[in-house]
Every structure is written in C-alpha cells, then in structure tokens.
Structure 1
Amino acid sequence: MSEQLPTDRELQILGVLWARGECTVREVYEELRGQGEALAQNTVQAFLRLMTEKKLVTYRQQGRAFVYQAAVAEKRTRGRLVSSLVQRAFDGAVDALVQSAFDAKPPSEAELQRLEELLKQHRAGKKKSR
C-alpha cells in the first residue's frame, strides 16, 4: 500500500507526535483536549489504530500501554499535502496558491520578509543548478 495522505484529524494527531516524539493514547488525548478539541479517549485510540494500518504511525507496547510515534516525516508529509493541494485546487499553479493564501490571510510584515528571503534562496539555488 502506498503512503496515504493524512486526514485533518490525523494531521492533528501527527502534529502532537511530531512535537513530542512518542505518546500514549492518553497523552495524545490530553494534548488534543488541551487544544480545545472535544474528543473521547477511545476516539483517539481508534484514530491511532487506523493510522497504524495506514502506516502513518508505529507503536511499541510498554506494559499495558501502547506508545505511538509518527512513521512519516513532518517535512515530507507537509510537502505531499501542499503538492496535492496545488495540483487538485490550483491546477499546478503555485502563484494562484500564494494569491489565495494572501486573500485568506494577509501576511504580516515579518512573513513578507521571510517570503522575500525564501525567494532569494530559491533563485540562488536555481542559478547554481544550471
């Protein structure tokens, strides 16, 4: 089975695992609850079981508890999600994605400066690879 993209809820759970490294079901549940999510602990457990089947997480048993960790890298996963979005929603047009992002949430001055730096780095990298 090829690596599947996570759903929104699965991405939330992966975010907890990426930030913390390893967690029990209870720890993931408590973190999500602390973020204001109204989930039952057995719902989190069901998600983690499905995510194991999808090969998004792995686990080891520690006593009676299962300790989960992300089986997919954060950078690669986010990249695949963005790539999928660009293709599906913007017909591959990165500029249309950026324009939509700006329309949805105007960037702060600090974000604009960071974007300018990223453009410079990207252009410098393109020149080196020619």
Structure 2
Amino acid sequence: MDLKPTESELEILQIIWRRGQCSVRDVHNELAANKEVGYTTTLKLMQIMHDKGLVERDTTSKTHLYKALISREQAQQGALDKILSTVFKGSTADLVIQALGQHRASKDEIDAIKNFLDGFEGEK
C-alpha cells in the first residue's frame, strides 16, 4: 500500500486512530478546538480521504461514521520513507543523527534505541 497522507489528512487520521471511528462533526469539533477550520473543509478532506482509500465510511445510519483503513505504523513508514529519500538522500545515519541532535530524547527513549540497535546487530 503506497498511501501518503497529506499533513491535513494526518491530523484527521490522528483523531480517528484515537477514537476508533467518528463522524465528520466529531473530527471537525476536535480540529476547530486548535485551529480555524470550516466544517465544509473538514467534510471535503474526509471525502477525499475516502476516495484515496485512507478511510472507510459506514453509511448504514443517518450520521456517517469514518474508520481508518491505514494504520498509524503505515502512515509513519510512508512519511519516514519520503523524508529519508527527499531530505536525507537515503542516509539513515544522517536522519538519526539529526533527530537525536535536535530533539532531547528521554533516558527511556535512548534505552529503547540502544536495545533496538543491539538486536539489529545480533541479526547479522
């Protein structure tokens, strides 16, 4: 699946992932709490997301409910692949060094990274 959600679509997906399924009104109310956005804009974005195969729409009741068809992991992988290839020219090391150098990782995050790398080295 080669679906690459836009930034606005990712905002909507974050809401749907957290809630499981929701109506356009539910999504709009959460978006409008943090930024100025029109209901018709939210509706149109969710219709586009449905057309792209990012969400499915249950039309069995009066209020249509939307559910994500792409997992958080799939979206993260797609975004990471795009950033890695376009911004870092395929260099995983440059990406990791930039990420760790610019953002303070907690001790737990650093331990998780070390454990991952130890396991990765063990596969060779």
Short-chain TM bin: 0.7 to 0.9
Equivalent residue, structure 2, for 1:51: 49
Equivalent residue, structure 2, for 1:129: 123
Structure 2 SS opposite 1:38: coil
The alignment covers a number of residue pairs equal to 124
Q: Which amino acid aligns with 1:96?
A: D
Q: Which amino acid aligns with 1:125?
A: G
CA RMSD of superposed structures (Å)? 1.8
Q: 1:101 to 1:123 in 2, by over 3 A?
A: closer
- TM-score normalised to the size of structure 2? 0.88
**Residues 3 and 55 in structure 1, CA contact (< 8 A), matched pair in contact too:** no
Structure 2 SS opposite 1:90: coil
**Residues 84 and 95 in structure 2, CA contact (< 8 A), matched pair in contact too:** yes
Find 2:61's aligned residue among 52, 60, 63: 63
The answer for unaligned runs of 5 or more in structure 1 is none
Q: 1:67 to 1:4 in 2, by over 3 A?
A: same
Q: Which amino acid aligns with 1:12?
A: E
Equivalent residue, structure 1, for 2:81: 83
CA-CA distance at 1:41 after TM superposition: 0.8
* Equivalent residue runs for 1:1-130 within 5 Å: 3-34=2-33, 36-102=34-100, 105-107=102-104, 111-130=105-124
Distance 2:103 2:71 in 1: 29
Distance 2:12 2:4 in 1: 13
Distance 2:103 2:86 in 1: 23
Q: Which has the higher mean CA deviation after the structures are superposed, 75-84 or 92-101?
A: 92-101
Distance 1:23 1:82 in 2: 27
Distance 1:24 1:32 in 2: 13
Distance 1:22 1:115 in 2: 30
CA-CA distance at 1:112 after TM superposition: 4.0
Structure 2 SS opposite 1:68: strand
Report which structure shows greater RCO (CA 8 Å, sep ≥6): 2
The answer for unaligned runs of 5 or more in structure 2 is none
